Amino acid sequence: MKIALIGANGQLGSDLAKVLPAHGHDLVSLTHADVEVTDAASVAAMMGEHEPELVLNMAAFHKVDVCEEEVERTFAVNVYGVRNLALACRAHDAVLAHMSTDYVFGGDRARRTPYVETDTPAPINVYGVSKLAGEHLARYLLERYFIFRVTGLYGVAGSSGKGGNFVELMLRLARAGKDVRVVDDQRITPTYTVDLAHQIAAVVETEQYGLYHATSQGDCTWYEFAAEIFRQSGLNPNLGKAKTGDFGEKATRPAYSVLENRALQRIGMDKMRPWQEALGAYLEERG
């Protein structure tokens, strides 16, 4: 299958760029310099030049706090960019695979059980609203689409614009002898991008179109994640608990945004391993 991968140099995109050819696909790796998703003409030109059967969209504006102030830019990428891709895919009879987020949830403050794909979203920040709107456009405009909601991503390539990923930040602080304070009132599922890339590659080879939650198994707070990073790395920094409001962030974060991979389980394709095991694999890969 010929696949156009938009955002091939990002944290997840770089792993997909390795995994997809290994699955036998003809991959066209594209960056922001190659296609601008906010420009319908740029998207149309890309589709005309490469004629992909599947478009994998990793492009997103995901600086959650900046999104609160740059709403127009956020919607340009996360909403209208998806519209442009969906319309182009429809015109060229191609499938769209689009990435979404656990941040489409959060409005249910009392929630303490994992969200499934049929649960009603209730975002509580601009980023979450924009990603949910992008989902709606993809689902409205296309009959053949994949939407993957993910959470807590980390990979060897780091996260563009965020100075690496959470694991690297924790290791850097610990090795510098810094005191480390991490929030203990946000529960998520850390997800290794190599595992996710293999999961996505497996699903898009099918015709099981629709919405999927795709995360590692289990859950933890960011504090518990940090503690496990240090345990597996043999480090023992002064690790303390913090509350979400302690750091003055502009965007409200969900207290609980754990996702259950129910749709993957339903089709017998949940390949994601426990988050602790995946973390060990990441630490081994990075060396």
The tens digit of pLDDT for each residue in 18-73 reads: 999 999 999 999 999 999 999 999 999 999 999 999 999 999 999 999 999 999 99
Whether 9 is covered by a domain: the verdict is yes
Residues 6+ apart with CB under 8 A from 172: 164
pLDDT for residue 158: 72
Q: Can you tell me the mean pLDDT for 162-185? A: 92
Angstrom distance (rounded) from CA 201 to CA 113: 28
pLDDT for residue 162: 53
Residue positions annotated with a catalytic role: 127
Whether 162 is covered by a domain: the verdict is no
Number of helices followed by number of strands (H, E) in the chain: 11, 12
pLDDT digits (tens, 9 = 90+) for 174-212: 999 999 999 999 999 999 999 999 999 999 999 999 999
**What is each CA distance from 33 to 8, 36, 59, 195, in whole angstroms?**
11, 7, 12, 27
pLDDT for residue 160: 47
Q: How many structural domains compose the chain?
A: 1
Please list the alpha-helical segments (H only) found in 163-205: 166-175, 193-204
Whether 59 is covered by a domain: the verdict is yes
- Which residue range(s) make up the domain with 19? 2-155+191-216+260-273
Residues 6+ apart with CB under 8 A from 179: 237, 238, 240
Whether 237 is covered by a domain: the verdict is no
pLDDT surpassing 70 at residue 161? no
Whether 6 is covered by a domain: the verdict is yes
Reduce the DSSP state of residue 42 to 3 states and report it.
Answer: helix
Whether 71 is covered by a domain: the verdict is yes
- Read off the CATH number of the domain in which 144 is found: 3.40.50.720
Do residues 201 and 16 touch, judged by C-beta distance below 8 A? yes
The DSSP code for 256 is: B
pLDDT for residue 109: 87
Whether 201 is covered by a domain: the verdict is yes
Q: Is 117 exposed, middle or buried (0-12, 13-18, 19+ CB in 10 A)?
A: middle
Secondary structure (DSSP) of 84-149: HHHHHHHHTT-EEEEEEEGGG----TT--S-B-TTSPP---SHHHHHHHHHHHHHHHH-SSEEEEE
Tokens matching residue 36: 């601008």
Reduce the DSSP state of residue 2 to 3 states and report it.
Answer: strand
Q: Can you tell me the mean pLDDT for 232-257? A: 95
Whether 52 is covered by a domain: the verdict is yes
